[in-house]
Structure 1
Amino acid sequence: MLSTARIVLVGCGHMGNALLTGWLAASVAADRVTIIEPDTSKAAGLVALAPITVVQRPDGLSLADVDVVVLAVKPQVLDEVAPAYLPFAAAGAVLLSIAAGRTLASLAGALGDAAAIVRAMPNTPAAVGRGMTAACATATVSAAQRGLVDALLSAVGEVVWLDDESLIDAVTAVSGSGPAYVFYLAECLAEAGVAAGLPPSLARQMARATITGAGELMFRAAEPADELRRRVTSPGGTTAAALTALMAQDGLQPLLTEAVRRAAARSRELSH
């Protein structure tokens, strides 16, 4: 399905770039992708590696030659950008929005009630094929269109489909924002290493390798995270001593719970 899909990517910022990088790595044909980006320099690095067409506006694109339009623009500019893609929706293209906070209802208001619209929340590990995306669709999306979007998102990682759109706020808080939490954990672990006496460069190297290695181990393992944790925690050992702090009543769990709560609340505030 992806080998023949004709894709228009609107916007090539951080997330759009991550998705495109993942698609190309998954063997999506570069000559079947058109990027709409006023700032063409944002796609310059990718264009240097693959024969991707980059234009500043959708004027002149054949409506019949587009299967999916991916709206990877900031939510505050979507209403300004959306009208240009109404003809694509009318011609049968499915519109995939990754604009944070824009509900299906608000997207339908901008793109038309008859438009086939999918709302998705991917995350930046999509750039290396390890993305986590949650998606929900309007009733106007056909089975074939849903299959196409699923294939497009699955090419860059795992995909879950939600029947309850309100769950997107929690998804945003856990997986959309989640990579930032992991990166911050790497920062904190490196700083703790320095405090324990390691040179800064060595502490950063060890923190980075430890987190990426543990992530890869968890990705490959069938066991849940708690079982993997128990396997490396000998009773009375060094890891157990550290976990007494991390698993204390005021330790990591309540901090993460509060962080996710705040992120989900902010997502709800931004939704419209």
Structure 2
Amino acid sequence: MTVDWERLIVRAGDKVQATGKFVVRDDSATMCAEVAVPLAGDLTACSANLLVPVVGIDAEGLVYGGVYQGKQYGWAKVIGTWADGRILVEQQFAPDPGEDWPDPPGPGPAPVGGWQPGALPSLDPLQDYLVSHAERFGQLRVGTVGVATGEISPMDLTQVAVVPVVGDLESARAELAGVFSGNIAVVPANRSILEWAMTLNALKDLMHDKANGISSIGGGADRPIEVSMLLLSEELYRKLEVIGLELVHLRPSIIPVLVD
């Protein structure tokens, strides 16, 4: 599915929605990007590139927080206006639950004769082969079968090595059978190991540039790489566009209030 990430670009004067950790002092308040990690045990600290001033936050309405060294902190979702690099808060709510990834597709139907019961043998030979042909295969994962239908006990799982494939599935199945003797299923790949690694390295370069305000990157297997950030600027969007927007899932802490 193609996502229009350009809609998430934040521009001056936009009505925005923001979720993160807020810190309130006597004369000021700030918001830190949603997934930023506290620095050196200080529950109120935040890297400067992941921090924005806020005006109008209600300290008493913050949740999951407390008081640390005289500063009140906690989490909230706010709606306000993005102006001069700060958020002018108009509405404040408790944060929404985090977004969960859907489970990846299962191994699919069993081959003729069924699956071999039990755990898989060592995956090292298969993994080494996939990496040596990184342009043709996606990242290996292990699936299980039989549990949902009650066919086997959860204590005796039947495992299947699931290999995403770039290209013809049947020829890849025959090829991999000569490498790995355990259960193996092949599925269409969203991206190859090589493509995923190149994308990840390019994203790491962006993250190392503090001006981009990226707080974390992660994800794997055959899913898009998740990129968490303070906000999506026009400049950062253009950089991600060069890398490949179809390969990422963006999670800004500050987004425009979208009207469909």
More helix as a share of residues: 1
Choose 1 or 2 for highest CA Rg. Answer: 2
TM-score class normalised by the smaller sequence: under 0.3
Higher relative contact order (CA 8 A, sep 6+): 2
Normalised to the residue count of structure 2, the TM-score between the two structures is 0.22
Greater strand proportion: 2
